Amino acid sequence: MIPRLIEKAGRIARSLDSVRSAAIMIGSSLIILACMHNSFTWHLQQFWGSSKNFWETVWYTCQWLCGRNNFVTFVFGSQVITAVLLFWPLNAFLMYTDLRGKDSVLYKFKVQADKNVPVDKARLKEACLVVLFNQVFSIPITAVLYPLMVKRANIFSSQLPTFQRVLLDLVVSVIAVEFAFYYSHRFLHHPSVYKWIHKKHHQWTAPVGIISLYAHPIEHVLSNFLPVALGPMIMGSHMMTTWLWFLLAIFTTVIVHSGYHLPLMPSPEAHDFHHLKFTNNYGVLGFLDRLHNTDNLFRETKQFQRHIFLFGISPITESFPDDPKLCNSPCKQFDES
């Protein structure tokens, strides 16, 4: 009886700690944004304003290339901006790196140094084909969103938004994607759903960049596409802001799936651990994982200590080397199959 009470009290204490941590994180962010509003953002707005002609030229050029057709700009322009200009060039570099294995200059930054060294060419080819299918499948889904976005606001206005408005839209989009991705991701890990849909994505326990969009089509829509589109839909963001957000989101998800903890790049440790163990780190920012105690195992590992922004050029494993005892006795991997 007493052990049960102690365990229950411990769970309540952890939950309260999670709520407090989330409140501090969100509250601090709001305070910082409020303080920055009249200082940092003012200076950035001056830069934004001084480069207004450049951004207007970019926007007019994009519209001209799309035949000044708003539907084409929204549907096909978005695919070109995100897939052709960013996703595939970035992944081409990462795939070249993965295929070189230990000969790659980036090998020392690899998170799971014994996996995909080099990556299997047949698996990589299959992953590329699945990703291509998902990107083509995104076109009609984007077309469905078009009337909703057009009804929400004048997203094709010739007047570009101010820097403060762009920043606000991006902050809302980040918060929206955290909530939408976390809960949709948790849903996909439910035993009755996982083996039919999400298990495909988890075939790669040591992910590489292209795996960021390697998923069942249902998952691609539910957990990849819609969470990222939610913020611009809520805010009625200008098309240029939406494209900027899409580029940031795609760049981040590719990097956190890359398997490399690179300098000056987002840390992949948390999501890499999710692919390795399956049971922790369902979110993007981490505060919902803290709130729901779905990062408890991760917080006890060396990967958690390494989950920081790397400023130097030395691998993070040099600052936080593996424990030899833990290396000889690895934790059991959990497969929700």
Reply yes or no on whether the pLDDT at 333 is more than 50: no
Q: What percent of the chain has pLDDT over 70?
A: 80
Cα–Cα distances in angstroms (integers) from residue 124 to residues 63, 120, 199, 225, in the given order: 35, 6, 17, 22
pLDDT at residue 279, rounded to an integer: 86
Mean pLDDT score, 37-58: 63
- 253 and 134 in contact (C-beta within 8 Å)? no
Which DSSP string do the residues of 118-177 spell out, in sequence order?
Answer: TPPHHHHHHHHHHHHHHHHHHHHHHHHHHHHHHHH--TT-SSPPPHHHHHHHHHHHHHHH
What pLDDT, on a 0 to 100 scale, did the predictor assign at position 321? 87
Under DSSP, is residue 259 helix (H, G, I), strand (E, B) or coil?
A: coil
pLDDT computed for residue 46 by the predictor: 58
For residues 247 and 82, the answer to whether their CB atoms sit within 8 Å is: yes
pLDDT confidence band for 162 (50 / 70 / 90): confident
Task: Supply the pTM of this predicted model.
Answer: 0.83
pLDDT of the residue at 18: 56
**Interval 81-92: pLDDT, tens:** 999 999 999 999
Of residues 27 and 102, which shows the higher confidence score? Answer: 102
Does residue 328 carry a pLDDT above 50? no
Contact status, residue 97 vs residue 255, Cβ threshold 8 Å? no
**pLDDT of the residue at 193:** 93
Q: Check whether 247 has a pLDDT greater than 90.
A: yes
Helix (H, G, I), strand (E, B) or coil at 110: strand
Cα dist from 275 to 47, 114, 173, 210, 291, whole Å: 41, 15, 25, 14, 21
Of 58 and 327, more confident: 58
Q: Token pair of 299, please?
A: 């917080």
Which tens digit of pLDDT belongs to each residue from 301-318? Answer: 899 999 999 998 899 988
3-class DSSP state of 260: strand
DSSP designation for 212: G
331 contacts: CB under 8 Å, gap ≥ 6: 277
Provide the 10 A C-beta neighbour count for residue 37: 13
16 pLDDT exceeds 50? Answer: yes
